[in-house]
Amino acid sequence: MKTNIVNTASGKANVSALFFVKKSVQFSNVLSENAVTQVESVLNGMKDGPFEDLELLEIDGVSTIFVDAAKERGLSALDHLRMAAYRLAKRACKRQIPTVSIMLADAAPEQFKSILHGLHYADYKFDAYKSKQKDAFQVTFEIVAGEQVAEFKKIAEEVAVEHKAVVLAKNLINTCASDLTPAEFVDNANTIAKYTPGLSIKVRNMKQLEKEGFMGLVTVGKGSSHEPYMITLNYDGTKPARKGAAKVAAKSAKIADKNARTSADHLVLVGKGLTFDTGGLCLKPPKSMPEMISDMSGAATVLAAIQAIATLELPIKVSTVCCLAENAIGFKSVLPGDIFKAKNGKTVMVDNTDAEGRLVLSDGLAEAGEIGATHIIDIATLTGAMVRALGYAVAGFFCNDDDLGLKVINGGEACCEKFWSMPLEEEYADALKDKFADLKNTGSDAGAIAAALFLQEFVPENTAWAHWDIAGTAFVNKTWKYTEYGATGFGVQTLIELARRMSKADEESIENDAVVSEDEYKVC
Ligand code: BES
Ligand code: ZN
Ligand code: ZN
């Protein structure tokens, strides 16, 4: 896919695309009067139900493809645009149409951004394991932007960076576990750190983890022939050397920078990185096992996000901690009933070896505290209970800070990623207590809440914290929106957006954009 952002239509495109909602055409101010009349008569000519999606008609001598921008149920207006653009790109590719022009002169910047994301999604394919790789037909999209050419070009650059990160996360998640061991993940992170200016990396292996008391990772990882690792990546967009770049980024994010200040926040993103989860000695049933190649989605998501945040030079301090291990069966595997001492000194009895994610994350949270986090977001394919509660379309999150919680919901909304606030229900906290140890790694029947309450025991004091359980949203077995099968890349864009919002110079400019107001949202 190629995009060409132009002021007015070149007239050379093979097909022109028009988005419509019910009977009204969207973004039409560049159409000739004649075309407007014809389009209106086509759309008004509909008798029963909506006009056929992706219908090709001759309008004022131009071959025009009509794209329904309200086809699916339950999506936001921005997500409808992503889907419409995605379907358009798929159709154009299938029909081998070389150039499609899209009339977006009167589209808002965020609408254009959504459309562009939709076009990018249509480009993704994971054929690394196919014996024959086919080159997809390349469609060029001519974006008719009118007066907004300069702004749209800037947005297109940002979207390209964001989407590169989404693709990185998806590729890592889709790669099978024997090819993406913790060590291979480290190799990938090293390469990213090497080629991304401003990123530094620290890697701890099994021996170092043991020496420093990161026993969650050691306990889970020791049963595998592939040793566990912890990766810490650091990016500091507030450093004087990066101030110029930071200002540009703030501007490009359409943030008023009159009273520009660099953020004092240190956002630390912690990712669960189980390159495979057999369940350990509490073995998973075969049916639910293949999907466990995606149990490192949290780590892939935070790695991808920091790559984009550094590339965009956002003026904020961000670190990511990837907690990498393989939950396997071996002669050294942790035994149910074993007790270990976590990094923060609390002792934990391993009641169920399949509840391993919270154990490795205890180390990630401790590391976040050690490097001075003011805000922590941990991201994990943590519980089957979350899949049952919210399914594949909505991620549940738990949060100890109203302001951060609001940013998660609104940031997600801007990126077409749905989040639902879940309660850190104190009434279930006692169920985590163990007879011998301070805690055990299972709790009440409310499995997702139990896991979040366990994690809360390891959150450093006075730190704003959110836990995202992406077990349902990270990987899909059937087509969902712009993912046919496999990794969705869920969370990457919201993390970038959160960093952008936290780094913003003018608090109000974002709050005005808020989709959910503070009154409507309260952390339970
Ligand atoms: N990785 C799984 C959670 C999961 C389930 C992710 C489905 C993606 C799809 C996690 O490690 C796990 O097995 N959790 C157990 C915990 C239980 C034993 C307390 C679960 O949720 O069943
Ligand atoms: Zn597990
Ligand atoms: Zn797991």
Identify the pLDDT of residue 241.
56
**Pair 170, 489: CB distance under 8 Å:** yes
Residue 523 confidence (pLDDT) above 70: no
Compute the distance from residue 300 Cα to the ligand 3 centre, in Å.
14
CA distance 223 to 150: 55
Tokens of 383: 């519980």
Mind giving me the DSSP string for 99-138? Answer: EEEEE-TT--HHHHHHHHHHHHHHH----TT-SSPPPPPP
Residue 495 confidence (pLDDT) above 70: yes
* pLDDT tens, position by position, 388-405: 999 999 999 999 999 999
Which of 114, 403, 415 is closest to 267 using CA atoms?
403
Ligand 1 atom showing the smallest separation from residue 279 Cα? 13
Ligand 1 site-directed mutation target among 359, 382, 432, most atoms within 8 Å of CB: 382
Tell me what the mean pLDDT of segment 238-251 comes to: 56
Identify the pLDDT of residue 516.
63
Ligand 1 atom showing the smallest separation from residue 383 Cα? 21
Ion ligand 2, residue ranges at CB < 5 A: 277, 354, 356
Residue 47 pLDDT level (bands cut at 50, 70, 90) = low
Ligand nearest to the CA of 454: 1
Residue 199 confidence (pLDDT) above 70: yes
**Per-residue b or e along 294-322, where b marks 16 or more CB atoms closer than 10 Å to that residue's CB:** bbbbbbbbbbbbbbbbbbbbbbbbbbbbb
467 residue type, one letter: H
Q: What is the mean pLDDT of the chain?
A: 91
Identify the pLDDT of residue 142.
97
Global pTM?
A: 0.93
Q: Is 54 left (phi over 0), alpha (psi -120 to 50) or beta?
A: left
CA distance 206 to 323: 12
CA distance 439 to 433: 5
Which of 206, 212, 210 is closest to 225 using CA atoms?
206
Q: Give the active site residues.
A: 284, 358
Residue 249 confidence (pLDDT) above 60: no
Residue 506 pLDDT level (bands cut at 50, 70, 90) = very low
Atom 13 of ligand 1, nearest CA residue: 354
Residue 294 pLDDT level (bands cut at 50, 70, 90) = very high
Q: Which of 57-61, 119-123, 426-430, 462-466 has the lowest mean pLDDT?
A: 57-61
Identify the pLDDT of residue 49.
53
CA distance 198 to 242: 9
Identify the pLDDT of residue 510.
44
Residue 227 pLDDT level (bands cut at 50, 70, 90) = very high
Pocket of ligand 1 from Cβ distances under 6 Å: 277, 291, 295, 352, 354-357, 381-385, 387, 442, 447, 471
Ligand 1 atom showing the smallest separation from residue 441 Cα? 19
**Pair 468, 460: CB distance under 8 Å:** no
The sign of the dihedral angle between the CA atoms of 68, 71, 75, 76 is: positive
CA distance 288 to 237: 41
Tokens of 368: 């976040």
Tell me what the mean pLDDT of segment 49-75 comes to: 85
Compute the distance from residue 354 Cα to the ligand 3 centre, in Å.
7
Tokens of 190: 């090293």
Identify the pLDDT of residue 514.
52
Tokens of 434: 């163990």
**Pair 173, 293: CB distance under 8 Å:** yes
Ligand nearest to the CA of 382: 1
Residue 332 pLDDT level (bands cut at 50, 70, 90) = very high
Residue 509 confidence (pLDDT) above 80: no
Tell me what the mean pLDDT of segment 58-86 comes to: 93
Residue 494 confidence (pLDDT) above 70: yes
Compute the distance from residue 357 Cα to the ligand 1 centre, in Å.
8
Atom 16 of ligand 1, nearest CA residue: 355
Q: Which of 302-316, 320-334, 506-520 has the lowest mean pLDDT?
A: 506-520
Tokens of 329: 């069966």
Ligand 1 atom showing the smallest separation from residue 294 Cα? 8
Residue 254 confidence (pLDDT) above 90: no
Identify the pLDDT of residue 271.
99
Compute the distance from residue 354 Cα to the ligand 1 centre, in Å.
7
Ligand 1 site-directed mutation target among 219, 354, 469, 470, most atoms within 8 Å of CB: 354
Higher pLDDT among residues 318 and 21, named by residue: 318
Residue 258 pLDDT level (bands cut at 50, 70, 90) = very low
Residue 246 confidence (pLDDT) above 70: no
What whole-number percentage of the chain has pLDDT above 90? 81
Identify the pLDDT of residue 51.
63
309 residue type, one letter: I
The sign of the dihedral angle between the CA atoms of 305, 516, 358, 439 is: positive
Identify the pLDDT of residue 44.
78
CA 294 to chain centre: 14
Atom 9 of ligand 1, nearest CA residue: 471
Atom 7 of ligand 1, nearest CA residue: 384
Residues 6+ apart with CB under 8 A from 26: 18, 19, 20, 69, 107
**Pair 350, 337: CB distance under 8 Å:** yes
Residues 6+ apart with CB under 8 A from 262: 237, 238, 243, 246, 315, 316, 503
Compute the distance from residue 419 Cα to the ligand 1 centre, in Å.
19
Ligand nearest to the CA of 386: 1
Residue 36 pLDDT level (bands cut at 50, 70, 90) = confident
Higher pLDDT among residues 20 and 310, named by residue: 310
Look-up: residue for tokens 């609390």? 346
Compute the distance from residue 289 Cα to the ligand 1 centre, in Å.
10
* pLDDT tens, position by position, 360-383: 999 999 999 999 999 999 999 999
* pLDDT tens, position by position, 308-320: 999 999 999 999 9
Identify the pLDDT of residue 117.
98
Ligand 1 atom showing the smallest separation from residue 450 Cα? 19
Q: Which helix (H) or strand (E) holds 375?
A: strand 375-380
Per 3-state DSSP, the chain is made up of helix, strand and coil in percentages (nearest 5) of 40, 20, 40
CA distance 328 to 310: 34
